[in-house]
Each structure stands twice: as C-alpha cells, then as structure tokens.
Amino acid sequence: VQRVRRLLARRSVRRADGAFVAEGAKLLEVALQLGAEVEAVYLAPEAGPDAVAVAERAGARGVRVFDLAPGVLGRVADTATPQPVLSVVRMPVPPPDVLVGAGFVVVCADVRDPGNAGTVIRTAAAAGADVVVCAGTTVDPYNPKTVRASAGSVLRIPIVVDVEVRSVLQGLGAGGVRRLGAMAEGGRGYDEVDWRAPCAVVLGNEAAGLGPEVGDLIDEQITIPMARQVDSLSVSTAAAVLCFAAARQRSNLQPMTAPAGHRATPQP
C-alpha cells in the first residue's frame, strides 16, 4: 500500500518502478481488456459489487488482489472521493523505433496541465494517431490526474516520455515527418494542410504557446480559424480539431467514413 501511495505521488518513483496506478473499476476493466500487465489490485471495503466483479476477473487472470483495511484508502488515494479499486499497472514501454515510419504523431511540448495532457492522449488515441510524445516539461502521462483524464488511453497508444522538445523535433524532421506547429494565429488554415503525408502536430504550452526557440524545427505553422473574436482555444480543444482533421484525411478509422476532402459536395 505504501507503494501505491508513492506511485501516485511521485514521477521519479513511477519511473524507477516502471509502474503506475490506475484508479477505479473502469480503468482496471480497460487495462484487462487491452491486455495490460496488471501487477496488483487493491480493493477497499466500500467497493460495490461491480468493482468487486472486475477485481475478481483480474484475480482469475493471476493478478494478486489485496483487501484494504477500512480507512486505508483515504490515506493512499489521490482524490478527495477516492475510487475503491486501485490497480498497479506496468508502464508500457514503446519500442525504441516507435517514431520510425510513424504516419501521424502528436507532440506535447511543455503541456503542463494533467487534465489537458490526458485529454490530448485520449483524443490522439481516438483519432488513430500512431504515437504521443510528452516532451520537455510536459506533465508525466502516468500522473494520476492524467491517467484519469485519458480514460485509460495511456494504455491504448504508445507514449514516448523523457525527451527534450528540440531533440524529438530534430529526430522527426530527420525521419521525414513534417512538423506542424499549432499557433493561435497567423498560421495556415489547418484544413488546407495535407495530413496524409507523415506528419506531427506540435502542441505548445497552455500559457506561452509554442516558443520561438523551436521555430527553426517547425516546418509549417497551422492555425484554427476562429469566429467572434475568440483569441485562442484550450490545448485539448485544439488537439481535438487538429487530430480529427488528420483522421478524416487519413481515413484510418473504423467504421470507415469517406473523408470530406474527397467529395465534391456533402451528402444530403
């Protein structure tokens, strides 16, 4: 249980241990469904029948399930109203060549808010991106808040961590991946971009955006045109618009929909 508390609290502990905590029955269910390596499950006395059932399914697959004594959960968990099931899950390690040959990459460059980063990961997974890169001072994707906001998608898509922004952009450029920097204004309209060639959308810090210090490593600045004098979108909203623009053109989604760019007129 001490391990769970430390895994929730500290990035350095998560890195050293190679594991993180998934809170709640829903996330355990996702982990089992995706075949993630679940090391241990901790079950609080307040767990309802659904949560107990998921923990039992984990147990049936050989996962050790521990019962927590009354009152222990509140001292361990990250939130004020903690989930009664805590699972220790091995951090998936993407293969070292995961960025080689990638068709669509999402790069978080100094995205600091755990909720934003988690939502970006969930969006990138849903839009069929190949990899998410959490670069620079971006929050740790295995932070409990990020895991929650990702709704389990930290387990669905390969995530590259602990890399500098400049070095990952240099590597992508050298690999022939077009680096598209998301800007609040002044860039090319995002829907005029060809998203079918290998590309990476680069999302900057919530307050500062993409800094000039990476300007030489961006191939094209792209912008979402906005109405009503709105001057910016949140990084997670921008990610949703851009990632699904890529998804439409790349038409790599199930169920298949014909991308809009290939029709003369919208269907009635």
Residues near a second copy (CB under 8 A): 33-34, 119, 122-123, 125-128, 151, 153, 156-157, 189, 191-196, 224-230, 232-234, 236-237, 240-241, 244, 247-249, 252-268
- Euclidean distance between CA atoms 198 and 208, whole angstroms: 27
Query: Minimum distance from CB of 74 to a second copy (Å)?
Result: 20
Q: How far is CA 118 from the centre of its chain?
A: 5
Tokens standing for residue 66: 């521990």
Query: Minimum distance from CB of 82 to a second copy (Å)?
Result: 18
- Euclidean distance between CA atoms 111 and 96, whole angstroms: 23
Tokens standing for residue 171: 């590597």
- Euclidean distance between CA atoms 196 and 109, whole angstroms: 22
Query: Minimum distance from CB of 168 to a second copy (Å)?
Result: 22
Query: Minimum distance from CB of 212 to a second copy (Å)?
Result: 22
- Euclidean distance between CA atoms 226 and 13, whole angstroms: 42
Judged by CB, which is closer to a second copy: 41, or 238?
Answer: 238
Helix (H) or strand (E) holding 41: strand 38-43
Query: Minimum distance from CB of 242 to a second copy (Å)?
Result: 9
Query: Minimum distance from CB of 264 to a second copy (Å)?
Result: 7
> In the 3-class helix/strand/coil scheme, how is 97-126 assigned residue by residue?
CCCCCCCEEEEEECCCCHHHHHHHHHHHHH
> In the 3-class helix/strand/coil scheme, how is 157-178 assigned residue by residue?
CCEEEEECHHHHHHHHHHCCCE
Judged by CB, which is closer to a second copy: 33, or 79?
Answer: 33
Judged by CB, which is closer to a second copy: 136, or 187?
Answer: 187
Judged by CB, which is closer to a second copy: 218, or 245?
Answer: 245
Count of residues in the chain: 268
Judged by CB, which is closer to a second copy: 68, or 193?
Answer: 193
